[in-house]
């Protein structure tokens, strides 16, 4: 049995953090994506039939939707809400001095540090209502790199991150290795990054979406983030009540992801799509404005992006019996685009190059029009075309 999360509980010696209470879910009747739920505790079942069934469900979920709910993964609701409370505390208490000192530089290929609510470039852009703090390796190594107000809580943030990367993600990757019919430790040992800090080559994000005032509502044409795929292995989004996350179905329809208290919403990143030869789907997702009943709420989002080993160049795992038997799916996403390069004999980017260039090139709803690049229409659907290191990526709006 995997040990449950056991965080530091020395709260008495720390400043008091007001409790984050989830706002009420939307009252509207929204169209939701029907996602599968994976009970991660079943992976420890002594009954091989139970594990087999779990692998079958995971296979369908990541092949069809590329998204799933993970439940019973070892962190309880109270522990989770404590992390949300700390994230909100960070955004409420970060000093103006720290905002300057820890200001991010996404054009350097990393999101590390403080993102002010003024766009996604290093220099200030238009107001977009999204503040973030992103924790990479350096932020775990040195207190100097994180806002002073959360110094007393870095033990809890580190323990939480470590549990997610070294326990939850390890078990999730065991399950996904089983889907590829590879040894249990295949993805965790060979593809997932390892490093001296709990986050490895990934990052943890504390994001705060500020509610738009009336005059700001038309901004970004109703979108807070454009459709995109994440570049790493797995993304762990903690399900939040303010309902904005949407995913792109195979039928080309955007559907909301419903709030499931305590659940982790998992999505597959480009790395796993490539290694699985398209059997796992890096599904496009976006952040929409909230429905009217939630328009005045702050949206707090805590996300852990697991990172793949930076020096690897991804290609399908040809040893996988699943791939040997069924081949690869060339009809979709990053896998298809990488294959075009390979067939032309052009070296494909390493994981590190891919993630840096994805960050530098990503487009956002409040970008100046000239930055939005080319709009193209394929099969009646409008996309933005972005060329990442010679790889053509289509982002549906
Ligand atoms: O906040 C969310 O729900 C999703 C954010 C997201 O997709 C991202 O930051 O890559
Ligand atoms: Fe994302």
pLDDT computed for residue 391 by the predictor: 65
pLDDT computed for residue 344 by the predictor: 79
Distance CA 27, CA 39 (A): 28
| Ligand 1 site residues, Cβ closer than 6 angstroms | 207, 225, 230, 237, 245, 285, 287, 301, 303
Q: What is the CA radius of gyration of the chain?
A: 20
Q: How far is Cα of residue 151 from the mean position of the Cα atoms in its chain? A: 25
* Residue 124: Cβ within 10 Å count: 11
pLDDT in tens, the chain (397 residues): 899 999 999 999 999 999 999 999 999 999 999 999 999 999 999 999 999 999 999 999 999 889 999 999 999 999 999 999 999 999 999 999 999 999 999 989 999 999 999 999 999 999 999 999 999 999 999 999 999 999 999 999 999 999 999 999 999 999 999 999 999 999 999 999 999 999 999 999 999 999 998 888 777 778 899 889 999 999 999 999 999 999 999 898 999 999 999 999 999 999 999 999 999 999 899 999 999 999 999 999 999 999 999 999 998 999 999 999 999 987 667 788 788 878 877 778 899 998 998 898 887 888 776 555 667 776 676 666 766 656 666 666 6
How far, in Å, from the CA of 285 to the mean position of ligand 2? 6
pLDDT computed for residue 357 by the predictor: 85
User: Is residue 319 within 8 Å of 253, Cβ to Cβ?
Assistant: no
User: Is residue 300 within 8 Å of 20, Cβ to Cβ?
Assistant: yes
Ligand 1 test: best mutation among 301, 363, 395, 396, most atoms within 8 Å of CB?
301
Give the up-direction half-sphere exposure of residue 395: CA atoms within 13 A in the CB hemisphere: 23
Distance CA 146, CA 143 (A): 5
How far, in Å, from the CA of 110 to the mean position of ligand 2? 15
The interface predicted TM-score (ipTM) is: 0.99
Which atom belonging to ligand 1 lies closest to the Cα atom of 209? 1
Distance CA 203, CA 112 (A): 8
Domains and CATH numbers, the chain: 11-330 (2.60.120.330)
Tokens of 290: 């909230």
CA nearest ligand 1 atom 10, residue: 230
pLDDT computed for residue 361 by the predictor: 80
Which atom belonging to ligand 1 lies closest to the Cα atom of 301? 1
- What interhelical angle do 48-64 and 169-179 show, nearest 10? 90
Tokens of 164: 């997610």
Distance CA 325, CA 344 (A): 25
Torsion, Cα of 227, 232, 233, 234 (10° steps): -50
CA nearest ligand 1 atom 2, residue: 245
Ligand 1 test: best mutation among 131, 225, 300, most atoms within 8 Å of CB?
225
User: Is residue 316 within 8 Å of 274, Cβ to Cβ?
Assistant: yes
Q: Could you tell me the CA-to-CA distances from 356 to 256, 387, 389 in Å, in that order?
A: 28, 13, 10
């Amino acid at each position: 049995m995997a040990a449950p999360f056991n965080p530091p509980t020395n709260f008495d010696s720390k400043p008091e953090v007001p409790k984050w209470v989830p706002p009420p879910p939307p009252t509207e009747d929204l169209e939701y994506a029907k996602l599968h739920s994976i009970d991660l505790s079943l992976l420890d079942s002594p009954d091989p039939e139970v594990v087999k069934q779990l692998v079958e469900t995971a296979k369908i979920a990541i092949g069809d939707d590329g998204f799933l709910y993970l439940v019973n993964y070892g962190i309880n609701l109270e522990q989770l809400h404590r992390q949300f409370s700390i994230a909100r505390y960070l955004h409420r208490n970060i000093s103006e001095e720290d905002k300057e000192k820890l200001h991010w530089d996404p054009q350097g290929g990393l999101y590390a540090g403080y993102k002010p609510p003024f766009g996604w470039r290093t220099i200030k852009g238009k107001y977009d209502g999204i503040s973030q703090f992103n924790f990479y390796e350096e932020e775990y190594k040195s207190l100097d790199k994180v806002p002073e107000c959360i110094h007393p809580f870095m033990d809890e943030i580190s323990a939480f991150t470590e549990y997610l990367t070294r326990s939850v993600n390890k078990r999730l990757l065991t399950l996904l290795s089983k889907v590829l019919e590879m040894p249990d430790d295949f993805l965790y040992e060979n593809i997932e990054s390892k490093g001296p800090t709990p986050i490895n080559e990934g990052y943890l994000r504390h994001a705060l979406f500020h509610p738009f005032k009336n005059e700001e509502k038309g901004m970004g044409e109703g979108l807070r983030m454009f459709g995109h795929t994440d570049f790493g292995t797995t993304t762990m989004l903690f399900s939040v009540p303010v309902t904005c996350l949407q995913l792109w179905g195979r039928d080309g329809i955007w559907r909301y992801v419903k709030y499931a208290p305590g659940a982790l919403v998992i999505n597959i990143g480009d790395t796993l799509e490539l290694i699985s030869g398209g059997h796992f789907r890096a599904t496009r997702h976006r952040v929409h404005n909230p429905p009217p009943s939630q328009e005045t709420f702050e949206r707090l989002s805590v996300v852990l992006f697991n990172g793949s080993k930076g020096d690897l160049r991804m290609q399908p795992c040809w040893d996988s019996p699943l791939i040997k038997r069924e081949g690869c799916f060339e009809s979709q996403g990053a896998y298809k685009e990488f294959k075009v390069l390979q067939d032309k004999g052009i070296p494909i980017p390493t994981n590190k190059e891919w993630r840096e260039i994805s960050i530098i090139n990503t487009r956002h709803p409040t970008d100046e029009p000239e930055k939005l690049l080319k709009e193209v229409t394929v099969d009646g659907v409008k996309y933005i075309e972005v060329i990442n290191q010679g790889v053509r990526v289509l982002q549906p709006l």
